[in-house]
Chains A and B, each alone.
Chain A
Amino acid sequence: MNIGKQFKDGLVSQNPVLVQLLGMCSTMAITTTLFNGIGMGISVLVILTCSNVVIAALRKVIPQKIRIAAYVVVIAGFVTMVDLLIQAFVPELSKSLGVFIPLIVVNCIILGRAEAFASKNTVPAAAIDGIAQGIGYTIVLVVICIIRELLGSGTFGAGIFGVNGGGIRIIAEGYPALFLILPFGGFLTLGCLIAFMQWTANRSADKARKESEAAK
């Protein structure tokens, strides 16, 4: 078991959103404030870790043919628990995320990790994979949220800091580019982030090639 490599995979080289391109719906839909992003990220992190652990523990019991259905039931159970907990303790979050909390059931990241990792590995490895991939997802959400909230509504951390949860105002009212809060902004921001990721990957590949040529 290689914890360092698993974390590096989850955060950078196999990042669920930017590299594996999973879980796009929630990534674009709810990333309008930092509050939403952190709430969604932590919910997915908890559900992913729990379902990874249960699926890894049951991997020898679940018959091959009905495995997808079994995974979906496990995931749906944890999603229901998290949904009810959020409704009880953080009702504002439940209101602003709305239908996207129950929709974590069909978030491809969770089913994808269950199929690709948890069904083939031991319980501790699956738990670490869940935490690493969940943190990778949360970081991407938070970055997109900060960009969209800052440029789109001119605030930072609405719902968390500031007077009446209004957030810290950084750009004066009337100046922010409102379209970044609209659906268009979600597509644009994520597109640019993935392009940035590809640019860095291309650049380091170029560098490595030049170095190997120079070594010859």
Chain B
Amino acid sequence: MIARILSISLGAILVENFILVKFLGICPFLGVSKKTDTAVGMGFAVIFVMGMASVFCWLVNYLLLVPLKLQYMQTVAYILVIAALVQFVEMFLQKTMPTLYQALGIYLPLITTNCAVLGVALLNTQYNYGLIESLVYGVMGGVGFTVAIFLFASVRERLEFADLPKAFEGFPIALVSAGLIALAFMGFSGLKIW
């Protein structure tokens, strides 16, 4: 079991990184990566929501949809679970942990439309993961997201001082540098040892 958890974690963080290899969650990756501290804040919010979403979508799927033979409603059910979850997390944090709520602030509502969150729920179902495996995959996928967005934000902070061709200013150069980070992550594909 420990080897299994380890291989799932390693896969989700490095080998099959959600952003750089699977292309899930590109919008917040490009949108909130201008500064490292906001990038890390977003990363932690995503870890939290991805872990929760994995667990709740697993429960909804195996306790509700499968017994009622309603698997074709998966997409609708999952997106509703995620939207409700994000809303609930927001209210809960506001009441109980105002400091954390303020740190995450505007990023929480944005997470509903983050495809990494819906993606992790759908992939858990596709891979037939159990409850614990789903939780591990969700949390570690979020960690992978955080690692990638932190690296990318650090690169982007330096890019502001670079002398670029006018046409490449802004988004294009950000995409090209994200591509170079993705190329570096290709090196981890040799880690598939389990």
Q: Which A residues between 10 and 26 are near B, CB-CB below 8 angstroms?
A: 21-22, 24-26
| Beta-carbon contact of A184 and B179 below 8 Å | yes
| Size category of the binding interface on chain A | 35 or more
| Beta-carbon contact of B113 and A202 below 8 Å | no
Please name the residue on chain A nearest to B122 by beta carbon. Answer: A99
Task: For A192, list chain B residues within 8 Å (CB).
Answer: 172, 176
Q: Tell me whether B15 is interfacial, beta carbon within 8 Å.
A: no
| Beta-carbon contact of B75 and A79 below 8 Å | yes
| Beta-carbon contact of A106 and B118 below 8 Å | yes
Bound CA span A16–B67, Å? 40
Bound CA span A194–B176, Å? 11
Q: Tell me whether A42 is interfacial, beta carbon within 8 Å.
A: no
9-residue interface stretch from B5-13, B16-24, B92-100, B138-146: B16-24
Closest CB-CB distance, A84 to chain B, in whole Å? 6
Closest CB-CB distance, A211 to chain B, in whole Å? 20
| Beta-carbon contact of A202 and B166 below 8 Å | yes
| Beta-carbon contact of B27 and A24 below 8 Å | yes
Please name the residue on chain A nearest to B87 by beta carbon. Answer: A69
| Beta-carbon contact of A76 and B175 below 8 Å | no
Closest CB-CB distance, A205 to chain B, in whole Å? 11
Task: For A161, list chain B residues within 8 Å (CB).
Answer: none
A73-B80, A102-B118 given as contacts; is B175 within 8 A of A191 (CB)?
A: yes
A105-B79, A194-B172 given as contacts; is B74 within 8 A of A28 (CB)?
A: no
Bound CA span A184–B73, Å? 34
Closest CB-CB distance, B117 to chain A, in whole Å? 8
13 A-B residue contacts at CB 8 Å? Answer: A21-B30, A24-B30, A26-B23, A73-B80, A77-B76, A102-B74, A106-B114, A179-B183, A188-B179, A190-B175, A191-B176, A198-B168, A198-B169
12 further interface pairs, Cβ-Cβ under 8 Å (given A21-B30, A25-B25, A194-B172):
A24-B27, A29-B23, A76-B75, A84-B72, A105-B118, A179-B183, A188-B175, A191-B174, A191-B176, A192-B172, A195-B172, A198-B172
A contact residues vs B (CB 8 Å cutoff): 21-22, 24-26, 28-29, 68-69, 72-73, 76-77, 79-80, 83-84, 98-99, 102-103, 105-108, 111, 179, 182-188, 190-192, 194-196, 198-199, 202
